[in-house]
Amino acid sequence: MAETSLSQQDRERLVLAAIDAKEFAYCKYSKFRVGAALLSAKGEIIKGANIENASYGGTICAERTAIVKAVSEGIKSFVALAVVTDVASAISPCGMCRQVLREFCALKMPVYLVPADYLKRLADGDEEGGIKTTSIGELLPDSFGPEDLELPRTS
């Protein structure tokens, strides 16, 4: 289960940042824009978008863009993530992003999967705006993380 200690105001701020981040997606191959935003423990918001490449393997997802931006600036403690695309259903991070998020985020950290029509849904009276709330632990059960490398070896 996700820990829902985030204030409504912080969640709103984070979701709007993810929507904003999507505007800078560079996705000329997939035509699938993704925006992500991380909220740091100190209240900073770090945005990311998917950045594709003509050599497809060089593509990086929005979630990893955000994490790499944050960590490379010395921010390594996060309290929430929001992800948004241009489709009406909640799209969740790919497997590789889940693992990278797992490195830096608590298993109970909330992950907000935001539908493209979030603002319309809010205006229509849906208090949640269609957001699906999950967590790193739910997205990546029985995961392997940094602490596993500290376990004593038996041989």
Q: Which residues are annotated as a binding site for substrate?
A: 50-56
| Interface segment toward Zn ion; rule CB under 5 A; list 1-9, 59-67, 83-91, 119-127 | 59-67
* Residue tagged active-site, from 3, 12, 63, 103: 63
Distance between CA atoms of 111 and 132, rounded to whole angstroms? 8
Q: Is 142 exposed, middle or buried (0-12, 13-18, 19+ CB in 10 A)?
A: exposed
Q: Does 94 bind Zn ion (CB under 5 A)?
A: yes
Number of residues that bind Zn ion (CB under 5 A): 3
Q: Does 2 bind Zn ion (CB under 5 A)?
A: no
Q: Does 97 bind Zn ion (CB under 5 A)?
A: yes
Nearer to Zn ion, 60 or 121 (CB): 60
Dihedral Cα 120, 122, 126, 129, nearest 10 deg: 90
For residue 127, indicate whether it is catalytic.
no
Nearer to Zn ion, 36 or 45 (CB): 36
Distance between CA atoms of 24 and 27, rounded to whole angstroms? 9
For residue 28, what are the CA distances in angstroms to 24, 25, 93, 110?
12, 9, 20, 30
| Contacts with Zn ion, residue ranges (CB under 5 A) | 61, 94, 97
